[in-house]
Amino acid sequence: ETGVTQTPRHLVMGMTNKKSLKCEQHLGHNAMYWYKQSAKKPLELMFVYNFKEQTENNSVPSRFSPECPNSSHLFLHLHTLQPEDSALYLCASSSAPGQGWAAFFGQGTRLTVV
Amino acid sequence: KQEVTQIPAALSVPEGENLVLNCSFTDSAIYNLQWFRQDPGKGLTSLLLIQSSQREQTSGRLNASLDKSSGRSTLYIAASQPGDSATYLCALTNMNYGGSQGNLIFGKGTKLSVKP
């Protein structure tokens, strides 16, 4: 248990569906992230939130829409996805720079788009 | 642009053997380097974090070293066990990255299999 919880663990959705991934941390961290892990590719950063403000969008298509209502919660809203969006989506949080920027990851949501 | 490379991509060893996993990076201006473990279909578990000012970190049978000047880090696993079988990922935080704090750049990982 890393202190970062993601739900659901598995999700199958059609290309016309709308769904949301949820991430929650109670580690007192200020920064939260979404990463995408596809087969045979390195983890790719998608979004970064720092103190609830989005500070990074790594050229992610608009069919992925993040939301960070507070420092403890992060959502990834999904709509009209493509089969190539099937992947493991990982949420992470990190401490402030002065505390070493250690990153803690959730267990991930395995997304399958059919 | 920072690039992180992990060699080998896969490694199979008999139980009890000591082994070394390698990670190299192209830009030495880093804040820190982390080693993670990932079991199939699961999230990442942080193993060791080395700050840029440090040379190594140890936790149990694991020892990670960092040589910024040569752009290398190694993860040493002593007396390997079947339970160590997993993918090991190296990730670092750039100092010159213009984005937000804590952005990690990952290698593709080394898939380790320890045979009983």
Q: Is B59 on the interface with A (CB under 8 A)?
A: no
CB atoms within 10 A of CB A11: 18
Looking at residue B20, its amino acid is V
Q: Write the CB contacts of B109 (distance below 8 Å, at least 6 apart in sequence).
A: A42, B6, B9, B38, B87, B88, B89, B90
Torsion from C-alpha of A46, B25, B65, A89, nearest 10 degrees: 20
pLDDT of residue A59: 84
Q: Do B49 and A48 touch (CB under 8 A)?
A: no
Task: Compute the distance between CA of residue B18 and CA of residue B2 in angstroms, rounded to an integer.
Answer: 30
Mean pLDDT of chain A: 89
Which residues in chain A show pLDDT less than 70? 1, 96-101
Q: What is the pLDDT of residues A16-33, one digit of tens each?
A: 899 999 999 989 988 899
Q: Is B44 on the interface with A (CB under 8 A)?
A: yes
∠ CA B73-B77-B82 to the nearest 5 degrees?
A: 135
Q: How, if at all, do strands A73-79 and B62-67 pair? A: unpaired
Q: Nearest chain A residue to B107 by CA: give it.
A: A42
Q: What is the pLDDT of residues B52-86, one digit of tens each?
A: 899 999 999 999 999 999 999 999 999 999 999 99
Residues 50..89 of A with a Cβ closer than 8 Å to B: which?
50, 55-56, 88
Cβ-based contacts of A95 with chain B (< 8 Å): 102
Query: DSSP for B81-113?
Result: -GGG-EEEEEEEEESS--S-TT-EEE---EEEE
Q: How, if at all, do strands A103-105 and A53-57 pair? A: unpaired
Q: Do B108 and A40 touch (CB under 8 A)?
A: yes
pLDDT band at B97 (very low <50, low <70, confident <90, very high): low
How far, in whole angstroms, is CA A99 from its chain's centroid? 22
Q: Is A110 on the interface with B (CB under 8 A)?
A: yes
Q: How, if at all, do strands B72-77 and B62-67 pair? A: antiparallel
Cβ-based contacts of A27 with chain B (< 8 Å): none
Structural contact between residues B19 and B11, judged by C-beta atoms closer than 8 angstroms: yes
pLDDT of residue A77: 97
pLDDT of residue A98: 44
Q: Do A103 and B108 touch (CB under 8 A)?
A: no
